[in-house]
Structure 1
Amino acid sequence: MVLQWDVIGDTEQSVLADPVRLRSVRRLGGRGPDEAFDRVAMLVRKLVDAPIGVVCLVDADKQYLAGQVGMPEPFASDRIMPLTHSFSRHVVVAGEMLVIPDVRADPRMCGNPAITQVGAISYAGAPITDPDGLVVGALCAVDREPRDWTPSEVALLTELAAVCSSEVCLRIARAVAEETQRAAESAHQQLELLTDLTESLAATMDVDEAMGRLGRIVTAGLADWCVVTYADAPGAAPHVSAAHRDPARAADMARLADLAARSRTDLQTVVLAARRHGRPVRHADGPQKLRGRVSDAELAALATAAGLGSSMVAPIISPVRRRVLGAVLLVNGPGRPPFTEAEERIAAEIGRRAGLAVENSRLYREQRHVAEVLQRSLLTELPALPGVELHARYLPAQDGAAVGGDWYDAFAQPDGSVMVAVGDVSGHDIEAAATMGQLRNLVRGNAYGRNDEPGVLLAQLDQTLHGLRVPAAATAVLARVRQSWSGYAIGFANAGHPPPLLLLPDGRVQVWWVPPEPLLGLPLQEPRTTSVRYVPPGSTLVLYTDGLVEDRDQMLDDGVTRLAEVLRSCAVYPGDELCDRLLEVASRRSDDIALLLVRLTG
């Protein structure tokens, strides 16, 4: 007999715990008075003439009194009863009307505490169903003495239960619609978060900046605060950033990130958990266990102040090397619900996109290093020449590669004169740099050992470019510096390039405008010309490319005038510092810059 009741108990539990049925019960709102169901309970008392009328919704471990009349305290106010007090659970299990004249004589109910605590002796209950026909509860009439329920009373209870079922179906349909709308809104918000994250991470190649942006976006839409940690290589020092939804906690988050970077043990625990699982892991174990994972006292205090509730760790995974590079720790304060499965999927995608950002930054740094080595190999190492002091700078475009088509050069001729040049091949990429290297070598090879004036040398260079089919379109200034009776004679030719500047010893600045001539590599209609200027010792010749003076909002002449004013105001600075001051003229560097200073010391 005991075995039989155990089986019945298991069957009852399986019905009550059915997740589909429970989803309907919980969509109805649960605990609390309900005006509509209270009216139905009142109708039961009036029409059936029963002292107690109840609309019960039966959960897995309790029942809610959605509507009631005649129940004693505390049940009347609390609107909740344990299943040990429930007669209606038998209606749910049976799935049909249940009529008991005297519950004390029924083996299923004779030990029910409601007999003494509620005074329930006679019970009649009709099932209330959801849209799928599952029984979510019962409409019941209860009497405090034995009673034979009449067919008309049973029929009336059945009809009123059908009214309750209709109301239940309407409410569930409304709840489903609201859930669908919330899910759609949540999906839209999550899509927006991932879109914002992708755009933000793609906008920078600085990985620390990218992780800072990630933290700000994540805390705006997914978690109260977060910590991002990653390492460029196994065993390397970790990079750590932290962000909080509340901007007032920015200083605390900066301190927390600093402490976390120093406390390698705490970080390793987070990263190892991410590496071990290879997917986001949710924790809803509360602040005590979270604090227990942090060994540093100040770090634990900052984390507690930030708010400790549920947490989730998402691995940062390299899409290239297929390994865990770090982790994103997401934390919600105690006032927010635990992270959901949908948020876990979003966290996984965040980790993947963070891994892509780290890899993009690594590849960019590697490519930039290669480009910088290439650029240094193409640019001239300035010679040490008697009576001539040389200083130069090269800066790639801020929005381009680390190499470009701008160049400078200086070399001594066998006759003692000095050739100096600055040029600009169209473009700022590897192809432009390769063309620039060819052009610079052609200038050297064409000019070295010859006594011709710069205009003649540039004209010969045009012929060489055409004859060798070098696809170059470039501007350039080529100058020869010779000693003369007055100091120095500078002859120069300009192929479509910005004018040279000359800083005189007395601080005045000359702008050497000459009639424009075609770019190198274009067909020539007339011979190129050479202009000659005589300058005193102590003068400084400044050659530069247009990236230093170009501005989309101003004429080129305005940029040259601005550069001349800076040159005049900074005349007293030594050569290297003067170069730095002149480079500050280019506030928005959208093109490469080459700068060559030639100081004629005597």
Structure 2
Amino acid sequence: MGGRADAAFDRIAVLVERLVDVSAAVVTVLGVDRQYLPGQVGLPEELAAAREVPLTHSLSRHVVEDGQLLVVPDTRADPRMRDNQGVQELGALAFAGVPLTDSDGHVLGTLAVMDREPRAWTRSEIALLVELGEVCSSELRLRIAREIADEARRAAESAHDQLTLLGELTETLTATMDIDEALGRLGRMVAGRLADWCVVALAEPSGSVRHVSAAHHDPAYAELAKRLAQVAAAAPREMKSLVAAVQRTALPIREDAADPKSLRARIAPGEIVEIAERIGLTSYLVAPITTTVGRRIVGVVILVNGPDRGPFGEAEEGTAVEIGRRAGLAVDNSRLYGRQRHVAEVLQHSMLPELPEIPGIELHARYLPAQIGAAVGGDWYDAFVQPDGSVMLAVGDVSGHDIEAAATMGQVRNLVRGDAYGRDDEPGPLLAQLDRALHGLGMPAAATAVLARLRRTDAGKSDSYELTFANAGHPPPVLLRPDGEVEVWWEAPEPLLGLLPRQERTTHRRRIVPGSTLLLYTDGLVESPAQLIDEGIRRIREALHGNAALAADELCTRMLDTATRRDDDVALLVIRVH
């Protein structure tokens, strides 16, 4: 293992780096005079390529020497570490590491994290590091078992396959925060590689069944497996009983010679046993899904073999336990993400205004959070009536996709409202004043925006509307005319707000006839990393063309359906004049 990268340990390093939010994470194995790095993320390029350092540069050797967890908030204040060359070369001013042990308890290396600033490590961060250290130790033990069992080729190959499965499983489980999707993927990955078929069940803290999924390696049994999951989900007593049985022992349950007749006595819905017999049931293994927070057993992974595969061994049992641990980590992550996303969405929507009701003018707005991150960002829209009866319209986007961006967005929107209300200035001067205010108040905001004023005018025999607008680095407004034609109001670009204050910004004028629909939107609707903005504009033109009679609310839905990516927020304001 020395001097070589290991994909499984690299994945663990990346996982702990993301979850603990550190500058570097390493999986180390210590030799006689060198420290090897089979897993790493965040190290300098030269060291990452070499995958080894002298022990004189090792911070992890103190963990191995002590044989226990080591937490150092500031390495410069630690007598053993402050003179270590690794501190100077890596800039490792904070360190935390847990020992990795073999099956006999001997310490072989560490799972460690480092940061470039002194850091007070939290209890939850250390608990997570300890738990992932156990996972990493299990990986290490499986590697050792494989290396010392070369003479037993089949056993070694099996251990390798299971280790690969665990590595891939970790990557798969961290690829989504939808726990139902994650557990469904788990079953599909395990079926055929560790068992013939697999059932995954998850219980809520109240004891009710939250999730049941089933997968078989043979596509011919796909519908039967799906039906099995449906019947099991509709029989919560049996699922709760199975979870409770594992909770009582906190150990896996293994049956090498399963008798379907005995299952009939314990499982009331006979269809479950009938399907199991048809799919194949001669041995099974039930492993707990254990959360990292609180070490609670919240579900089970059920592995089942038919007559052609044979019973499960100790290696499969150990791997099944690891699968349960990783599934538990996914459960924790999903629940934490769900809570954070809910709070973020409530915050975001609380900062978006209620649109006014204006005779002759329909206003509709949508806000669509990104599908990644905390579901909060700097996109916003606004509309309010001036004392003279004109209507101010605004859509903007403060850079960022976090709580700070949302807070800044709220301040920028309020500045727009406070500065524009009651004034007859054109949108250009109003945006220029906003630019000066952002700089004068020291607000660290870089934002795009379109600010517009809509007035009813008397143009001959029929009413019409005059719209004036200014654009600070924002996608162009789009107008759907009553005849179904679409206008895109491209203008000479002007810089974003908050960069360099401008004394003047341009005001543009358009006349709008009744029956027209104006769209103001943020870049999440039209931009994609692989395409020019023109392609996004083309999509919304096509969706709008010929649809002047469509309800404005339905137009909102159609516009959102044109978005090709969901890693950015979308704010949309639709204005229809009558």
Q: CA deviation at 1:490?
A: 0.6
Q: Name the structure 1 match of 2:467.
A: 490
Distance 1:543 1:292 in 2: 65
Number of the residue aligned with 1:12: none
The CA distance in 1 between the partners of 2:225 and 2:153, in whole Å, is: 35
Alignment-derived partner of residue 316 in structure 1: 289
Counterpart residue identity of residue 578, structure 1: L
Q: 1:551 aligns with which of 528, 533, 538?
A: 528
3-state SS in 2 of match to 1:583: helix
For residue 180 of structure 1, what is the aligned residue in structure 2?
152
Verify: 1:206 aligned to 2:183, yes or no. no
1:289-324: CA deviation from partner (whole Å, max 9, x where unpaired): 344432222111101011111111111111113221
- How much has 1:370 moved relative to structure 2? 0.4
Aligned equivalents of 2:208 and 2:341: distance in 1? 21
- Per the alignment, residue 442 of structure 1 pairs with 415
Deviation for aligned residue 1:232: 2.7
AA of the residue aligned to 2:411: Q
Question: Which residue in the other structure is 1:286 paired with?
Answer: 258
Q: Is 1:195 the counterpart of 2:176 in the alignment?
A: no
* Cα distance change, pair 178–543 in 1 and its aligned pair in 2 (3 A): closer
CA contact (8 A) 1:286 1:334 kept: no
What's the CA shift for 1:228?
Answer: 0.9
Matches within 5 A, 1:49-128: none
1:438-463 CA-to-partner distances (Å, cap 9, x unmatched) read: 11111111111111111010011011
Contact 2:203–2:209 (Cα < 8 Å) also in 1 = yes
| Residue of 549, 560, 570 corresponding to 2:547 | 570
Task: Classify the secondary structure of the residue corresponding to 1:220.
Answer: coil
1:523 equivalenced with 2:500 (yes/no): yes
Aligned to 1:270: 242
In the TM superposition, residue 179 of structure 1 has moved relative to its aligned partner by: 4.2
**Which amino acid in 1 is paired with 2:331?**
V
Counterpart-to-counterpart distance in 2, 1:328 and 1:387 = 60
Shift of 1:472: 0.6
Q: How does 1:503-522 map to 2 (within 5 A)?
A: 503-522=480-499
Partner residue in 2 for 1:358: 331
Between the aligned partners of 1:200 and 1:220, the Cα distance in structure 2 is 17
AA partner of residue 506 (structure 2) = T
Closer, same or farther: CA 185–237 of 1 in aligned 2, 3 Å? closer
Between 437-446 and 333-342, report the one with greater CA deviation.
333-342
Q: Is 1:388 aligned to 2:388, yes or no?
A: no
After superposition, the Cα gap between the structure-2 partners of 1:260 and 1:177, relative to the gap in structure 1 and judged at 3 Å, is closer
Single out whichever of 287-296 and 320-329 deviates more from structure 2.
Answer: 287-296
DSSP-derived class of the 1:226 partner: strand
Q: Retained in 1: the 8 A contact 2:517–2:548?
A: no
Alignment root-mean-square deviation, CA: 1.6
State the secondary structure of the residue aligned to 1:594.
strand
Per-residue Cα deviation, 1:235-292 (whole angstroms, up to 9, x for no partner): 3343111111212111101111111111223223321221111021211232233444
3-state SS in 2 of match to 1:268: helix
User: SS of the residue aligned with 2:215?
Assistant: strand
Give CA deviations for 1:441-495 in whole Å, capped at 9, x if unaligned.
Answer: 1111111111111101001101110011101111100000111112111110010
Q: Does the aligned pair in 2 maintain the 1:563–1:585 contact within 8 Å?
A: yes
Aligned equivalents of 2:400 and 2:325: distance in 1?
34
Partner secondary structure for residue 186 of structure 1: helix
- Residue 543 of structure 1 and its aligned partner are, at CA, apart by 0.5
Q: Which amino acid aligns with 2:224?
A: D
Helix, strand or coil at the partner of 1:488: strand
Deviation at 1:234, TM superposition (A): 1.7
The equivalent residue for 2:102 is: none
Matched, 1:227 2:227: no
Residue identity matched to 2:330:
A
CA 1:554–1:177 in structure 2 vs 1: closer, same or farther (change >3 Å)? closer
8 Å CA contact retained: 1:408, 1:594: yes
Per-residue deviation, 1:530: 0.6
Instruction: Look up the match of 2:29.
Output: none
Q: 1:412 to 1:177 in 2, by over 3 A?
A: closer
Letter in 2 for 1:180: A
Q: Mind listing any 5+ residue stretches in structure 1 that lack a counterpart?
A: 1-175
Q: Which has the larger radius of gyration?
A: 1
Residue 591 in structure 1 maps to residue 564 in structure 2:
no
Displacement of 1:385: 1.4
1:212 Cα deviation after fit: 0.6
| Counterpart in the other structure of 1:375 | 348
The correspondence for 2:435, drawn from 441, 462, 465, is: 462
Structure 2 residues not aligned, in runs of 5+: 1-147
Q: TM-score, normalised by structure 2?
A: 0.71
Indicate the SS of the match to 1:498.
Answer: coil
**1:256 matched residue in structure 2:** 228
The aligned residue for residue 386 of structure 2 is 413
Alpha-carbon spacing, 1:341–1:208, altered in 2? closer, same or farther (3 Å): same
Is contact 2:257–2:283 with CA below 8 Å preserved after alignment? yes
Please say which of residues 497-506 and 281-290 is displaced more in the overlay: 281-290
Partner Cα distance (1:260, 1:336) in 2: 24
Task: Provide the C-alpha distance between the structure 1 equivalents of 2:425 and 2:326, rounded to a whole number of angstroms.
Answer: 60
Q: Which amino acid aligns with 1:211?
A: L
- 1:338 aligned residue: 311
CA contact (8 A) 2:516 2:548 kept: no
Indicate if the aligned counterparts of 1:230 and 1:238 stay in contact, CA closer than 8 A: yes
C-alpha change, 1:212 and 1:522, in structure 2 (3 Å) is same
What amino acid sits opposite 1:336 in the alignment? R
Q: Secondary structure at the match of 2:365?
A: strand
Q: Which secondary structure state, in structure 2, belongs to the residue aligned with residue 384 of structure 1?
A: coil
1:5-46: CA deviation from partner (whole Å, max 9, x where unpaired): xxxxxxxxxxxxxxxxxxxxxxxxxxxxxxxxxxxxxxxxxx
Q: Show the counterpart of 2:133.
A: none
Identity %: 63
Q: Is the 8 A contact 1:502 1:509 kept in 2?
A: yes
1:258 maps to a residue whose letter is Q
Q: Kindly provide the CA deviation profile for residues 421-447 of structure 1, in whole angstroms up to 9, marking residues without a partner as x.
A: 000111222221111111111111111
Deviates more, 1:381-390 or 1:367-376: 381-390
Residues 1:591 and 1:178: Cα distance change in structure 2 (over 3 Å): closer
Matches within 5 A, 1:397-408: 397-408=370-381
Q: For the Cα contact (< 8 Å) 1:224–1:245, is it kept in 2? A: yes
Query: How far apart, in 2, do the equivalents of 1:479 and 1:319 lie?
Result: 52
2:487 aligned counterpart, secondary structure:
strand
Q: Would the aligned equivalents of 1:518 and 1:524 in 2 still touch at CA under 8 Å?
A: no
Contact 2:446 2:496 in 1 (8 A): yes
Q: 1:320 to 1:361 in 2, by over 3 A?
A: same
Deviating above 6 A after TM superposition, structure 1's stretches of 4 or more consecutive aligned residues are: none
Letter of the 1:298 partner, please give it: E
Post-superposition CA distance 1:484-534 (Å, at most 9, x none): 112111110010111111112222221111111111012145511111111
Displacement of 1:600: 1.0
